């Protein structure tokens, strides 16, 4: 993206299932992404045939057969899209709780986000309920460093909402209260009343909401501030996926988090411990010579096979390879847990694109969440609401970094039983010695 | 396990080991300080003319030892029991010397226990059962499948299968073929395991992949016993979720693993939410037992093997008193995650009938 005039941002679209994320994204792309009228018409035909006319926008992103059959997004979609100020990569994430793992890898790659909240009666309540994804996604996004959010209050056209200002305010207040609680500065957050289906306030100000004086969604996206690009740090590209492209070879895909990748570089993937030369780099089907932090790239590496590497591995320069942890210390906050947590507990750790079952090896200290002061040394157990320093042991080799060094690879979430248990940052690492 | 002789008064019984699981049960039944007798091989030392000794070969003898240590040796697949010789062939003069039994399948061994508690009885009963129900739990999603073998007292992580199926970012065409290959591979492994372990299959995981796998499984193997179960993640975390749910409970009735998990869960729940209804650590538990407050006593199997003789006696006393007051004693293995948490919290805990201040 260094060759483009506009700055590039990764935008995550998140929210509870059926709140209209994919439809909004599809509609946004249709209005401003330069998508073919004919392509959309063809999709509409196909959707009508299966009796799912409403899905015509969503099917732009939901390409998998399973996704169309079940009317839900399963895996991430990446799209490019331009506003007057920026060039965006939109990451459309699944909202269903079964696919939170995929949403997390999406969040780990985002600079900013749209939190889609349906105003429809019942849907708002479900998403904001204790196990709802409106809450969980917002919490996970904050945990993973997404500090800029726009709230899109969707389905304003629905019968139960009818473009009501009162309902808009009710939803806005509820969501903001929660966002404030998890650490967002709500004075800086915009909430826009939209209809992903009809198009209200997406690009043009809608006559249906005369009481709303704020910006359209499009305008709101331009208020985002591009984050600093850690160009001078060691190269780190967490791998999102691996493809085999005929005529090219193995193409891993991921976002450059830190450092710069150049064609010709010698890179290594950890913990897979496989190295090779970068033959080419592409972003959104355009070849580039150099990729910087924030770029979502597919890059061809000579000497590495498709089954050698997978999602969760991290790519770096051979001279400064990614760190693989044998154990590490983290400072965590226990957001939710039904019982006490003792050493031995093994939930699932999510960090950058990796997912690994990880054991609480030793509970080192309990600390005050507000001040950071030590409350208790070597506590016997932790519970909901506690903040602590814990030594963790991943059950499989894991590439991870110190939060103070390389923040995108040092932030993590812990999940178990379908709930997010805790969030934390890596404070110390004991590196593993790998056999060559 | 075949129980050949049993004398409750003398707390003595003789058994024949039928399979590897029996060794495990034996490990849990024998305590330090018990007496163990059996046929074994002892090296003979012969005196040389010059006053020294040399090896004279091995002799099959019948010995009794007082147990000081016991552990599994995985590469010989035997239970090693070490202790001082109490009685043996007179001519060998080995009283007081150390000997190690290496107990394997088809061996016979006699045990005289110092203390015989209800849970020892329970273990023996389980060891005698002929039926050994097992389940293979597979947690699967589009990326990976992790397979676990669930036995009565443990859950073993067998192996994983990676899918190498790509996402939606690039059009690579082969996605559905890749996915078919992946699901077929997993189905084949499951079929093989079901046959080998005579196990029930439980297919779990988030999303839809599990249903797809189940269809393929039933198509490939007409007579396979397999059911679907929901789990929010894959891996040991997901497998533990499945442990709690209906399907596994029906298959593995009286499963110690499930029972242990539920007990520890209850303990952890009370610890966080109703702390006055639990006690943990020897001191607290002792106090609770003396007041007759203990409903269920949880003792980590690993704890017993790791304490001094004195501490063991104290624990045994606590167990006896608990039963004396009508409470139940449960030995919880540390081989699974819940048991490990119990061990790390001191290895001994009590669920109380009423709160003691």
DSSP of A53-106:
GGGTTGGGT--SHHHHHHTS--S-EEEEEE-SSEEEEEEEPP-SGGGHHHHHHH
DSSP H or E segment with residue B123: helix B118-128
Enumerate the β-bridge partners of residue B110.
B14, B37
How far is the alpha carbon of B279 from chain A, nearest alpha carbon, in Å?
13
Enumerate the β-bridge partners of residue A349.
A356, A414
CATH 2.30.30.870 is right for the domain spanning B2-127: yes
| Among candidate residues A205, A135, A148, the one with its CA nearest the CA of residue A174 | A135
Mean pLDDT across the stretch A21-33? 80
Are A343 and B208 inside 8 Å of each other by CB? Answer: no
Q: Are A406 and A392 in contact (CB under 8 A)?
A: no
pLDDT score at B295: 94
Residue from the list A97, A241, A417 with its beta carbon closest to the beta carbon of B166: A241
Calpha distance B255→A343 (Å, rounded): 24
pLDDT score at A157: 92
Contacts of B99 (CB under 8 A, 6+ apart): B40, B42, B63, B65, B82, B83, B84, B85
Do the bridges between strand A348-351 and strand A354-367 make them parallel or antiparallel, or are there none, so unpaired? antiparallel
Question: Between residues A434 and A429, which one has the greater pLDDT?
Answer: A429
Residue span(s) of chain B under CATH 3.30.1330.30 come to: 256-352
Angle, to 10 degrees, between the axis of helix A133-143 and the axis of helix A100-107? Answer: 40
**Residues B10-21 as b or e (16 or more Cβ within 10 Å = b):** ebbbbbebeeeb
Are A243 and B272 inside 8 Å of each other by CB? Answer: no
Question: Between residues A365 and B303, which one has the greater pLDDT?
Answer: A365
DSSP H or E segment with residue A127: helix A123-128
Q: How large is the ipTM? A: 0.78
How far is the alpha carbon of B207 from chain A, nearest alpha carbon, in Å?
6
Q: Which of A106, A136, A243 would best serve as a mutation to test chain B binding (most B beta carbons within 10 A)? A: A243
Superfamily of domain covering B256-352? Ribosomal protein L30/S12 (3.30.1330.30)
A188 has a pLDDT exceeding 50: yes
Calpha distance A252→A317 (Å, rounded): 15
Calpha distance A417→A348 (Å, rounded): 9
Lowest mean pLDDT among A22-31, A117-126, B106-115: A22-31
Residue from the list B162, B280, B337 with its beta carbon closest to the beta carbon of A344: B337
Residue span(s) of chain B under CATH 2.30.30.870 come to: 2-127
Q: Which residues of A touch B269 (CB under 8 A)?
A: 338-340
Tokens 């305590």, residue? Answer: B31
Q: What are the structure tokens assigned to A299, written together? A: 């890059």
Chain B contact for A357 (CB, 8 A cutoff)? yes
How far is the alpha carbon of B297 from chain A, nearest alpha carbon, in Å?
18
- Taking CA B235 as the corner, what is the angle to CA B231 and CA B239, rounded to the nearest 5 degrees? 50
Residue of chain A with shortest Cα separation from B232: A418
Residue of chain B with shortest Cα separation from A65: B176
Max Cα–Cα distance, chain B, nearest Å: 86
Q: What are the structure tokens assigned to A59, written together? A: 């099917």
Residue span(s) of chain B under CATH 3.30.420.60 come to: 135-251
| Among candidate residues A110, A163, A155, the one with its CA nearest the CA of residue A137 | A110
Calpha distance B335→B349 (Å, rounded): 17
Query: Each residue's pLDDT tens digit in chain B (357 positions)?
Result: 888 888 888 889 999 998 877 888 888 888 888 999 999 888 877 767 676 777 778 888 999 999 998 887 766 778 999 999 999 888 888 888 999 999 988 899 999 998 887 778 877 887 888 777 788 999 999 889 999 998 777 788 899 998 887 776 665 566 778 888 999 999 999 999 888 888 889 999 998 899 999 999 988 888 888 888 888 889 988 998 888 776 677 777 667 788 888 999 999 999 999 999 999 999 999 999 999 999 999 998 778 777 777 787 788 889 889 989 999 988 887 778 898 999 999 999 999 999 986
pTM of the model: 0.82
- Taking CA A12 as the corner, what is the angle to CA A6 and CA A13, rounded to the nearest 5 degrees? 120
A1 has a pLDDT exceeding 50: no
Q: Are A75 and A106 in contact (CB under 8 A)?
A: no
Calpha distance B134→B255 (Å, rounded): 10
Which architecture does CATH list for B135-251? Answer: 2-Layer Sandwich (3.30)
Give the distance, in angstroms, between the CA of residue B24 and the centroid of all CA atoms in the same chain: 7
Task: Give the number of other CB atoms < 10 A from CB of residue A392.
Answer: 24
Tokens 């826009």, residue? Answer: A192
Q: Which residues of B touch A253 (CB under 8 A)?
A: 167, 169-170
Question: Can the peptide bond before residue B30 be classed as cis, meaning omega within 30 degrees of 0?
Answer: no
Burial of A173 (0-12, 13-18, 19+ CB in 10 A): exposed
Q: Which of B185, B207, B333, B345 would best serve as a mutation to test chain A binding (most A beta carbons within 10 A)? A: B207
Q: Which residues of A touch B232 (CB under 8 A)?
A: 97-98, 100, 415, 417-418
pLDDT score at A145: 87
Calpha distance A215→A211 (Å, rounded): 12
Residue A229: left if φ>0, alpha if ψ -120 to 50, beta else—which one?
beta
Calpha distance A304→A306 (Å, rounded): 7
Q: Which residues of A touch B236 (CB under 8 A)?
A: 346, 357, 395
Q: Which of A386, A418, A421 would best serve as a mutation to test chain B binding (most B beta carbons within 10 A)? A: A418
Summarised one tens digit per residue, pLDDT across range A335-344 is 889 999 999 9
3-state secondary structure of B156: strand
| Among candidate residues B299, B284, B167, the one with its CA nearest the CA of residue A310 | B167
Calpha distance A186→B89 (Å, rounded): 85
Residue of chain B with shortest Cα separation from A247: B172
| Among candidate residues A293, A269, A273, the one with its CA nearest the CA of residue A283 | A293
Residue from the list A101, A243, A344 with its beta carbon closest to the beta carbon of B170: A243
Are B237 and A298 inside 8 Å of each other by CB? Answer: no
Q: How far is CA A28 from CA A79, A176, A194, A198, A327, in A?
A: 11, 24, 11, 11, 44
What percent of chain A lies above the pLDDT cut of 90? 58
> pLDDT category, A3, cuts 50, 70, 90?
very low
Residue of chain A with shortest Cα separation from B280: A380
| Among candidate residues A58, A118, A114, A63, the one with its CA nearest the CA of residue A90 | A114
B312-319 own/partner pairs: CB under 8 Å, 24+ apart: B312/B31, B312/B32, B312/B33, B314/B282, B314/B286, B315/B282, B315/B348, B316/B115, B316/B117, B318/B282, B318/B285, B318/B286, B318/B289, B318/B348, B319/B115, B319/B117, B319/B119
Q: Are B209 and B140 in contact (CB under 8 A)?
A: yes
Calpha distance A314→A252 (Å, rounded): 10
Calpha distance A9→A295 (Å, rounded): 8
Q: Which of B165, B167, B300 would best serve as a mutation to test chain A binding (most A beta carbons within 10 A)? A: B167
Calpha distance B275→B269 (Å, rounded): 9
Residue A20: left if φ>0, alpha if ψ -120 to 50, beta else—which one?
left
List the 25-64 stretch of A: residues with Cβ below 8 A of B.
61, 63-64
How far is the alpha carbon of B173 from chain A, nearest alpha carbon, in Å?
9
pLDDT score at A54: 57
Residue of chain A with shortest Cα separation from B167: A241
């Amino acid at each position: 993206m260094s060759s483009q005039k506009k700055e590039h941002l990764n935008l995550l679209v998140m929210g509870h299932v059926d709140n209209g994320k994919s439809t909004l994204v599809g509609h946004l792309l249709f209005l401003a992404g330069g998508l073919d009228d004919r392509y959309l018409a063809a999709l509409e035909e196909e959707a009508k045939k299966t009796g799912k006319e409403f899905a015509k926008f969503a099917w732009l992103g939901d390409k998998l057969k399973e996704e169309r059959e079940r009317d839900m997004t399963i895996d991430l979609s990446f799209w490019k899209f331009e506003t007057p100020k920026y060039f965006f990569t939109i990451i459309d994430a699944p909202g269903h709780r079964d696919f939170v793992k995929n949403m997390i890898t999406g969040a780990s790659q985002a600079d900013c986000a749209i939190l889609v909240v349906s105003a429809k009666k019942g849907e708002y309540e479900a998403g904001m309920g204790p196990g709802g994804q409106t809450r969980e996604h917002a919490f996970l996004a904050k945990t993973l460093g997404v500090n800029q959010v726009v709230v899109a209050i969707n389905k304003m056209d629905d019968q139960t909402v009818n473009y009501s200002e009162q309902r808009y305010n009710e939803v806005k207040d509820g969501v903001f209260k929660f966002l404030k609680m998890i650490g967002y500065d709500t004075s800086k957050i915009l909430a826009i009343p939209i209809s992903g289906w009809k198009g209200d306030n997406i690009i043009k100000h809608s006559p249906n909401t005369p009481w709303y004086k704020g910006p359209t969604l499009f305008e709101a996206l331009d208020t985002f501030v591009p984050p600093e690009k850690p160009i001078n740090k060691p190269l780190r590209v967490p791998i999102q996926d691996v493809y085999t492209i005929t005529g090219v070879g193995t193409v891993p895909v991921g976002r450059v988090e830190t450092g710069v990748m150049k064609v010709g570089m010698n890179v290594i993937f950890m913990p897979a411990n496989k190295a090779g030369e970068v033959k080419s780099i592409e972003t959104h089907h355009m070849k580039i010579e150099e990729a910087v932090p924030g770029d979502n790239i597919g890059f061809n590496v000579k000497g590495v096979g498709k089954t050698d590497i997978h999602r969760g591995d991290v790519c770096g320069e051979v001279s400064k390879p990614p760190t693989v942890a044998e154990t590490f210390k983290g400072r965590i906050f226990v957001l939710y847990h039904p019982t006490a947590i003792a050493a031995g507990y093994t939930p699932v750790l999510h960090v950058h694109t990796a997912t690994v079952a990880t054991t609480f090896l030793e509970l080192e200290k309990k600390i005050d969440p507000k001040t950071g002061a030590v409350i208790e040394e070597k506590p016997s157990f932790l519970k909901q609401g506690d903040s602590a320093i814990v030594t963790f042991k991943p059950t499989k080799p894991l590439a991870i970094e110190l939060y103070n060094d390389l923040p995108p690879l040092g932030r993590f979430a812990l999940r178990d039983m379908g709930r997010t248990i805790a969030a934390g940052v890596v404070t110390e690492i004991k590196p593993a010695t790998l056999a060559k | 396990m075949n129980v050949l002789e049993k004398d409750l008064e003398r707390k003595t019984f003789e058994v024949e080991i039928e399979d590897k699981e029996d060794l495990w049960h034996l490990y849990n039944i024998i305590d330090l300080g018990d007496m163990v007798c059996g046929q074994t091989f002892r090296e003979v030392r012969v005196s040389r003319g010059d006053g020294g000794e040399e090896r004279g070969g091995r002799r099959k003898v019948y010995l009794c030892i007082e147990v000081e240590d016991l552990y599994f040796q995985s590469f010989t697949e035997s239970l090693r029991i070490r202790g001082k010789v109490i009685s043996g062939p007179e001519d060998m003069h080995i009283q007081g010397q150390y000997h190690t039994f290496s107990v394997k399948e088809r061996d016979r061994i006699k045990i005289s226990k110092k203390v015989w508690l209800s849970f020892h009885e329970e273990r023996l009963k389980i060891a005698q059962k002929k039926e050994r129900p097992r389940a293979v739990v597979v947690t699967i999603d589009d990326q990976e499948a992790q397979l676990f073998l669930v036995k009565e007292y443990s859950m073993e992580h067998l192996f994983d299968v990676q899918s190498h199926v790509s996402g939606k970012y690039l059009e690579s065409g082969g996605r559905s073929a890749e996915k078919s290959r992946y699901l077929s591979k997993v189905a084949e492994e499951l079929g093989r395991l079901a046959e080998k372990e005579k196990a029930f299959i439980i297919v779990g995981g988030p999303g839809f992949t599990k249903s797809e796998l189940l269809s393929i499984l039933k198509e490939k193997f007409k007579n396979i016993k397999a059911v679907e179960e929901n789990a929010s993640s894959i891996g040991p975390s997901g497998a533990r979720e499945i442990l709690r749910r209906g399907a596994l409970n029906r298959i593995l009735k009286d499963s110690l693993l499930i029972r242990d998990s539920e007990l520890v869960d209850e303990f952890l729940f009370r610890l966080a939410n109703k702390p006055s209804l639990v006690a943990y650590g020897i001191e607290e538990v002792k106090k609770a037992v003396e007041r007759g407050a203990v409903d269920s006593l949880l003792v980590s199997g690993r704890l017993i093997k790791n304490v001094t003789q004195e501490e063991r006696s104290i624990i045994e006393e606590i167990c006896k008193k608990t039963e004396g007051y009508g409470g139940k004693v449960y030995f919880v293995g540390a081989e699974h995650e819940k048991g490990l948490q119990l061990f790390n919290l001191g290895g001994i805990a009590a669920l109380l009938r009423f709160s003691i201040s």
